[in-house]
Amino acid sequence: MQGGIGDWIVRRARRKPTATALVDGDTGRRMSYDELERSSAATAHALHDLGIRRGDRVVVLMENSIGFMQVVFAVANLGAVSVPVNVRLGASEIGYILSDSGATAIAVSERFRTLADAALGTGGHGVRHVLVDGPPEPTGGVPTTELTASAAGPSLRPPDGAIRDDDLCMIMYTSGTTGRPKGAMLTHGNMLWNAINCTTIGTGLSGASVTLAVAPMFHIGALGNSVLPFLYAGATVVTVRAFEPRRTLELLAEHRVTSQFMVPAMWAALSQVPDFDSVDVSSMQFVLCGGAPCPLPVIDFYRSRGWRFLEGFGMTETAPCALLLDADFVVSHAGSVGRPFMHVDVRLVDDEDHDVPVGEVGELVLRGPNVFAGYWGRPADTAEAMRGGWFHSGDLGRSDADGFVTLVDRKKDMVISGGENIYPIEVEQVLFGHPAVLDVAVIGTPDERWGESVLAVVVLRPGTDAAPADLIDHARGRIAHYKCPRRVEFVDELPRTATGKVLKRDLRERYAGAAESVHR
| Residue 294 three-state SS | coil
Which of 282, 303, 324 is at the close of a domain? 303
Q: Is the dihedral of CA 115, 118, 123, 126 positive or negative?
A: positive
What gap in Å lies between CA 285 and CA 435, rounded to an integer? 54
What confidence tier does 459 reach under pLDDT thresholds 50, 70, 90? very high
Confirm if 291 and 261 have CB atoms less than 8 A apart: no
Assigned domain for 352 exists: no
Looking at the fold, whether 299 and 424 belong to one and the same domain comes out as: no
Give the residue numbers spanning the domain of 224: 5-303
- Report the pLDDT averaged over residues 15-21: 97
Assigned domain for 94 exists: yes
Residue 292 clears pLDDT 90, i.e. is over it: no
CA distances from 367 to 29, 86, 322 (A): 40, 27, 9
Assigned domain for 148 exists: yes
For position 492, which CATH number holds? 3.30.300.30
Predicted pLDDT of residue 294: 83
Predicted pLDDT of residue 429: 81
Assigned domain for 231 exists: yes
444: left (phi over 0), alpha (psi -120 to 50) or beta: beta
Predicted pLDDT of residue 520: 41
Predicted pLDDT of residue 145: 87
CA distances from 80 to 15, 39, 217 (A): 26, 17, 19
Predicted pLDDT of residue 411: 67
Residue 212 clears pLDDT 50, i.e. is over it: yes
Predicted pLDDT of residue 180: 80
Q: What is the DSSP letter of 355?
A: B
Assigned domain for 316 exists: no
What confidence tier does 505 reach under pLDDT thresholds 50, 70, 90? confident
For position 256, which CATH number holds? 3.40.50.12780
The predicted-structure confidence for 133-188, as pLDDT tens digits, reads as follows 888 887 778 888 888 644 455 666 665 678 999 999 999 998 654 468 899 999 99
Between residues 18 and 351, which one has the greater pLDDT?
18
Residue count (the chain): 520
CA distances from 79 to 62, 76, 196, 317 (A): 20, 5, 21, 20
| Residue 185 three-state SS | strand
Between residues 473 and 408, which one has the greater pLDDT?
473
Assigned domain for 328 exists: no
Residue 519 clears pLDDT 70, i.e. is over it: no
- Report the pLDDT averaged over residues 362-368: 96
Confirm if 123 and 95 have CB atoms less than 8 A apart: yes
Which of 303, 318, 350 is at the close of a domain? 303
Predicted pLDDT of residue 474: 96
Which of 269, 303, 337 is at the close of a domain? 303
Looking at the fold, whether 38 and 161 belong to one and the same domain comes out as: yes
User: Looking at the 3D structure of the chain, how many domains does it have?
Assistant: 2
Looking at the fold, whether 285 and 162 belong to one and the same domain comes out as: yes
Round the average pLDDT of the chain to a whole number and report it: 91
The predicted-structure confidence for 388-445, as pLDDT tens digits, reads as follows 999 999 988 899 999 999 987 666 677 888 888 787 878 888 998 899 998 899 999 9
Confirm if 168 and 341 have CB atoms less than 8 A apart: no
Predicted pLDDT of residue 245: 96
Q: If you compute the radius of gyration of the chain from its CA atoms, what whole number of angstroms results?
A: 23
Residue 421 CB partners (closer than 8 Å, separation 6+):
174, 175, 414, 415
What gap in Å lies between CA 476 and CA 492, rounded to an integer? 25
Assigned domain for 265 exists: yes
Assigned domain for 98 exists: yes
Residue 108 CB partners (closer than 8 Å, separation 6+):
61, 62, 116, 130, 131, 132, 133, 139
Residue 506 clears pLDDT 70, i.e. is over it: yes
| E-state strands within 144-276 | 144-146, 168-174, 182-187, 210-213, 236-239, 259-262
The predicted-structure confidence for 96-132, as pLDDT tens digits, reads as follows 999 999 999 999 999 999 999 999 999 899 999 999 9
Looking at the fold, whether 60 and 185 belong to one and the same domain comes out as: yes
Confirm if 82 and 170 have CB atoms less than 8 A apart: yes
Residue 274 CB partners (closer than 8 Å, separation 6+):
none
